[in-house]
Amino acid sequence: MTYIPISPKERDAMLKTIGVKSLDDLFEAVPATHRFPHLDLPPALTEMEAAQELADIASTNENVRGDLISFLGAGMYNHYIPSVIDHMLRRGEFYTAYTPYQPEISQGTLQAIFEYQSLMTALTGMELSNASHYDGATAAAEAVNLAFAQFRGKRKKVVISPTVHPQYRAVIRTYTQGMELELAGDDGNADLDSKPEELASLIDDNTSLVIVQYPDFFGRIFDYTKLIETAHGKGALVCVVANPTALAMLKTPGVMGADVVVGEGQPLGLPLWYGGPSLGFFTTRKQFVHKMAGRLVGETVDSRGQRAYVLTLTAREQHIKRERATSNICSNQGLLALGSAIYMSVLGKTGMRQVAELCYQKAHYAAEQLSQIEGMGLCFSDPFFHEFALCVNRPVEEVNAHLLEHGILGGYDLGQDYPALKNHMLIAVTEMNSKEEIDLLAEVLAEVSHD
């Protein structure tokens, strides 16, 4: 956008037109104590000097691409990102594109979104995908909106496993304020050793949706087939929050019978970026397409019989349905959806499975080494993917401070969200962690246990 300066005469004419004498008059409604203060800026710098100062500031940051060894996950993971993704995302035709409402000039963007949708349905075992949501948490909350709309608000209960990501549960609580919904099972003090089938006791004829995570927040792998059958027997829908990397080697939620599969798309070729921006994927069954929020691209033919792509089913969106819309979410993460589509295309089915297997194998090697340290041990005995809960028998903050002194970014402090897991950390291992790095982690943690 270009800003054209105006003369004082033009400014005064504009102020007269809107009926005020000065620019200050425009801010009379804002209390003086809350008005923006005058900026106390330093002397002006040349472009070269400014670039150097910014570089000096940036150099104080440490990252996982050379400065630190990372074993921190809890929803955002340090995976290898093929260089082609960044090169493609920086192309102007994608980088500056907005929602492609005009198909005649947006075929490239529309096809990219369509390919993303196709890849996500194959990965999750579902029938259709949107493109997309802000992150995994908002995608999970939109699953609640879908179920609420599907039952026209008549079923007032949502059962949420306590092992669904704590931040996802928090966003769902925020979304559902004022909807008069009962959120059952959303309890950080719950028995975390309980099996998924035990959630069945919470499901009744008033339940609209059951939400579980796969693998769960602690990295554990459960087969939800029986639970889903129980929920369907009560007429309820089931949403599975899934790790997309794990889906490359595990049974898909679609095969289990899930109605909605959502999750965080960051592992699919997106950087950590200090926690965002990110990508929330949302897939479901065809029968729920009219209740699904977000953009949906379809393939058709034009007047000449040639393949064409268009935004479809926009009548379900808020700019047409207004207060009758399923959701009021209005933006997508098209650029990041493209990045994930490129990632899945470049790696292919075999490559994605190799990444998943490396994560699995390295995590199990790490768990074996760390559980041998005196005073430490695994919190759960269930099968896990690439994260596991480790008891460290002292404040996690203290342990992580010691690890950081050795250039290691430690695990997530589980005691923040689960009081029963005080002095437990969630360790994440990906294909980026070498055997030497895992051995170093074990060595440094052993030092902590001997202090």
**DSSP notation for 348-381:** HHHHHHHHHHHHHHHHHHHHHHHTTSTT-EES--
Stretch 115-136: mean pLDDT, rounded? 95
Does 281 lie in the same domain as 137? yes
Q: What is the H or E stretch that residue 309 is in?
A: strand 307-311
Give the rounded percent of residues in the chain with a pLDDT score beyond 70.
Answer: 96
Q: CATH number of the domain that 92 lies in?
A: 3.40.640.10
* 36-45, 302-311, 408-417: least confident range: 36-45
Tell whether the model's pLDDT for residue 440 goes beyond 60: yes
**CA angle centred on 53, ends 50 and 58, rounded to 5°:** 125
Tell whether the model's pLDDT for residue 331 goes beyond 70: no
Question: Which residues, 6 or more positions from 235, have their beta carbon under 8 angstroms from its beta carbon?
Answer: 205, 207
Total domain count for the chain? Answer: 2
Does 116 lie in the same domain as 73? no
CA 322 from centroid of its chain's CA atoms:
27
Tell whether the model's pLDDT for residue 3 goes beyond 60: no
CA torsion sign for 216, 222, 223, 227 is: negative
Q: What is the H or E stretch that residue 340 is in?
A: helix 334-370
pLDDT for 330 equals 66
Tell whether the model's pLDDT for residue 1 goes beyond 50: no
> Which domain-ending residue is among 343, 367, 397?
343
Tell whether the model's pLDDT for residue 167 goes beyond 60: yes
| Residues 399-417 pLDDT 10s | 999 999 999 999 999 999 9
Distance between first and last Cα of the chain: 59
pLDDT for 315 equals 61
Stretch 310-324: mean pLDDT, rounded? 73
Stretch 261-271: mean pLDDT, rounded? 97
Distance CA(52)–CA(49), nearest Å, equals 5
Q: 381 is written with which tokens?
A: 């005995």
17 lies in some domain: no
Q: Tell me how far CA of residue 84 lies from CA of 103, 201, 204, in angstroms.
A: 26, 49, 49
| Residues 332-346 pLDDT 10s | 678 899 999 999 999
Does 317 lie in the same domain as 168? yes
**CA angle centred on 196, ends 192 and 197, rounded to 5°:** 130
Distance CA(375)–CA(399), nearest Å, equals 13
Q: Which domain holds residue 375?
A: 69-81+349-450
Q: Tell me how far CA of residue 61 lies from CA of 66, 68, 274, in angstroms.
A: 12, 11, 11
Stretch 284-290: mean pLDDT, rounded? 95
429 lies in some domain: yes
Q: Considering just the CA atoms, what is the radius of gyration of the chain in Å?
A: 25
Provide the pLDDT confidence category of residue 97 given band limits of 50, 70 and 90: low
186 lies in some domain: yes
Does 136 lie in the same domain as 273? yes
> Which domain-ending residue is among 302, 326, 343?
343
> Which domain-ending residue is among 343, 373, 395?
343
Q: 306 is written with which tokens?
A: 């040639």
Does 383 lie in the same domain as 330? no
Tell whether the model's pLDDT for residue 381 goes beyond 80: yes
Q: Tell me how far CA of residue 87 lies from CA of 33, 338, 342, 441, in angstroms.
A: 47, 12, 11, 34
Evaluate whether 115 touches 94 at the Cβ level (below 8 Å).
no
128 lies in some domain: yes
Tell whether the model's pLDDT for residue 305 goes beyond 50: yes
Q: CATH number of the domain that 75 lies in?
A: 3.90.1150.10
| Residues 13-36 pLDDT 10s | 898 898 988 888 888 888 888 777
Tell whether the model's pLDDT for residue 313 goes beyond 60: yes
Provide the pLDDT confidence category of residue 93 given band limits of 50, 70 and 90: confident
Q: 210 is written with which tokens?
A: 């059951």
Tell whether the model's pLDDT for residue 4 goes beyond 80: no
Stretch 87-106: mean pLDDT, rounded? 82
| Residues 345-362 pLDDT 10s | 999 999 999 999 999 999
Does 245 lie in the same domain as 259? yes
21 lies in some domain: no
pLDDT for 169 equals 97
12 lies in some domain: no
Distance CA(99)–CA(110), nearest Å, equals 9
Stretch 163-171: mean pLDDT, rounded? 97
Residue 303, CA atoms < 13 Å, CB-side half-sphere: 1
pLDDT for 351 equals 97
Does 202 lie in the same domain as 95? yes
Distance CA(160)–CA(203), nearest Å, equals 10
